[in-house]
Structure 1
Amino acid sequence: MRNLLRTVTGLFTNMHIRSKLLISYFILIFLPLALMTSFSYKNVSRNYEKQILHSADQSFDQAYTFLSYKVNTLIKASDVIYFNADVQAILTRDKRAFEDDYVQQNIDRQKLEYFLNSFQNAEDVYRASLYVPGWLMYAGQNFNFFDMDAFSHTGSYRALLASKDKVSWLPEHAITNNNTNLDPVPVISLVRKIRNSEQTTEIIGIIELNILKGLIEEILQKANITNDGVVYIQNANGDIVSCSNTDNYHRIDPNRALIQDAQDDDGASWNKASIGSSDYVVKSRAVENTDWTMVTAIPLTEIFMQSIRIRDLMLLLMLVCGLLSYGLAYLITGATVKRILLLKKKMRLVQEGVLNVEVQSVIPDEIGELTDSFNHMVKRIRLLVEEQYQNGKEIKNLELKALQAQINPHFLYNTLELINWKAIDNGVPEIAVISQSLAKFYKLSLNKGKDIVSVEDEINHIRAYVQIQNLRFDNKIKLDVRIDPELYGRDILKLILQPLVENSIIHGILEARDSEGGTIAITGCLEMNEIVLTVKDDGVGMPAEQAGRLLASGNANDEVQGYGIRNINHRIKLCYGQEYGLAYRSSPGSGTTVEIRIPNRFR
């Protein structure tokens, strides 16, 4: 794997820049588009599935609620009939006393018909009927009344007796129409045993309430929001009570075990299931007070059909946008690389020594700036070649001047040494001391042309300077040096202490009236990897405002003193940085203190 990666990396590295750009554009264009398309498709598919299932949930729950309302309406109607006093009285009449009393039986029939007809309407109870004892003359009417003795020999009656539920439900069957006795009407019936209120073990009749099967189918059809899905009701025996679409049901052919698995979660969620060779989402819920289960099954292909269309459209858009973007990138890279190749060709000419080349550039982009820089560079090279030729002629003159500059200090030292020996020969020791101190002073000042000296050399330079000044002013200057020995080997700019000491002597100690002399204390230590040197005198001092103006540029007061101090401060900042330099503290009659702060560096 590593070898393959190394090989691919090597191939990419050795490609021409246009090939690299085109490969990069291909990745940067198609990869984000592919990721965006995939991400969008997944989100759209997930959201569309949620919307479909949410709509199916709402339709399912609404249909379930409406169906439960129909069922409860029939049950409540059966309660009213069951507990009606006239019904109890008529159905418990003594056969021997009323069998031949046709007048009373006719009165009873009319009363019961009027009572049963009061429940009938087209939306809820299509027909209310009673199964009455067979000895009654209206038992064979077969409209509002039926013969219970004949019904007792049917399987439906035996199932009703065996049921412990309050009501039972008969499968789909047809009854005669209310208006004509010729047109059969499919209905679903509720049946309920009527027990003697005084002897509950005795069954005196049966209530039958019919609801149109078409009403139930209409409810289920509204619950089915898909073309290929199905919503149906099946009873405990697995028989289909009603169905929204018979063709879809037979095509799907769901089995009872599948519905039982879906019903275990009490209809709270959708379950995915495989029926035959297709995948479905299934939801079921038991209908209260019945042995029915309401079931809906939706094919997954129908749920994802719209998202598949969106996916195909997005793929097409991705392909079109990608090809257009890649074609545009191909043209742009061609124009860009062409300018780079031209610049590369001119550079090779310069590499071969041809300097009279120039590349024309009219586009002010990065390549245009690079081209302008190349033209400027070639011009500078030509100028430098010419300058080098002119400078070659002046080298000898410069070497001669440098030799002369080295001879002059030696001449000065030799002259001072001559004065020293003449003073000794003539017995004038003061002149000898002056010449020796002056020679030492200038030797340290010149330092062979170097700007950086050690702290030790700078202190020795101050000692020589003070010694000369004491010969001039009758030893009025006392020098007190207290430098940490560790600092002697550190680097420092030369001639930064001497102007400060000179100011202390001239403007501090000597300006004091009737002064017999003064002391200049020089101290040095390390603070936070910085060298801190202080020059303190006990002269006349100055106001704090005047001390603050000494380092300001353009100071008109005492220009000689201010210029020398500002020069030292400026040199320190140029050499070490703006955070370093001088700081003054002074007050009248209390002397002046100058602090020098520079970085700690070894020589």
Structure 2
Amino acid sequence: MKIKFKLLALLLFCTILPLAVNVFVSYDSINQRLKSELIAQYKSQADRLNQSFELSIRGMDNNMLSIYQTAELYNFVTESQHAGEEAIAKQRRVENLLKILTHSLNDFSNVYLYRDADHRMFKVNAKFLDVRNEQVPETDNPAWIEETKRHDGNLVVVRNASAESDQPLLFVGRSIPDVIEKMQAGVIGIDLGGTYFQNMLGKDFIVENTEIRDADGTVIYSTLKEPPDAKDQLEIVSETNVYGWTVATFLSKATLQEIAWDAVKPTLLWGAAFLLVGIVLWLMLSRQISVPIYGLVKRMREVGKGDFSLAGWKPKRERRDEIGFLELQFRSMVERIEALIKREYELKMSESVAQMRALQSQINPHFLYNTLTSIYSEALEAGADNVCKMVKSLSAMFRYTTDHQNDIVTLSAEVDHIRNYLAIQKYRFEDRLEFRIDIPNHLETAPMLKLSLQPIVENAFVHGISRSGHGKIAIEAHETDGSVVLTVSDSAGTLDEREADQLTRQVRESGSLGTSVGLANVHKRVQYLFPGSDGIAIKAIHGKTSVSISWRTEAAS
């Protein structure tokens, strides 16, 4: 996965997860708190409604007692004779009392007075306020009459079990006892229909989803259109009043969830807005981080394939942060690797050229050895001692230069080779050439680059003694700071200080080795085989030219 997609995944994780947790926790918290508050509110209203029913029925009872306790009503019900003008007058007074009672009531259906002696029922309708009386056969007495008579004058609330939607639902009344005969003489009461409950609910409560139940749990009145489902509804029941009634209301769980969802919806919308802002910031940040890194990775792949040119790679702008530091360091590293590869290539080429030149110089070495041996024998028989010495030195030089087994030899072996070379040159220049070799004993076994001293000595002859016709060559060695320094100086004095410094730079900075084994070749091979070495240095002091070669013996590779 690319870095920018990892950043996007991190952004989504750090945004969506907290948002989801926050929405879930807030939703659950609001739902629970709202549930508790609504349950408490519904319970309070249900209790208040149930108390209102109790107070309402108690008020009806008080109004009913205002005529229930009168002598006219008591005598009218308990007397057995109901004929004559006096009886008619009593009936008129009682009917007026019933009308007075109807004027003091609200939301009732009918007011009843039942006289048990002649099974006569007096009825005042709430709509027409007229008094009707009729004979009721004992076998057809309403159930509430017998129920009321059994309570011996106490207030009774009786549910009409057979009531339909347009009929009274409850009967509230008292029986009228005959204290002399010790029997129930009649019943006075009020029946209540659906209008009563509708008005009570409309005044003080939520009309929907409400049930009024009696002491048996039977529903007296309900506003439910269909039976409640316990899975979708919360049932809230009030305390029981003195009549055993309870009010039950139902709270929809879907309503709770909808309210809770509306409460957390702004949080979700703000979270989505912040997420969009985060994505925009991610796009900007990815351009600032991932694009430069992709470019750096592309360059690394090209370098891995061997392309160290860095052609066309230039950052759009210089960065001063960590990515800019990486780009700068990578570019510097590639440049150094390219330089090292070029140096390695040049050293390998130098070594190949040296070996080729060495091979060219050993044209049939065995033939040369045999020829030199024959010359040596003839010179020895002829008594030509100088010729013998020259042939012997030349033979040793050939043997040394044609041995390609090792590039590193001891200092003493290299010096012996140069000593043979100088001995031959001595026969050429005779008294015009003097040389001195001063090598401390403890340095004779020091490792040294093979054939590194001869080019330096040859330069002394070619550019010094050959031009002046005479001179002195001194070869000295010493050790300093873990390096061996071998110096070849001549007295020809053909260079000044400026020329010596310029020649040193050319030797050290030369990128082309040419076709000869020269000082530049020796310098590069010394640095390659003895890392950290100074190599060749040329100086001109007081008419003397000195060429020194310095190498670190402990760094031999």
- Normalising by structure 2, we get a TM-score of 0.48
Which one has a bigger Cα radius of gyration?
Answer: 2
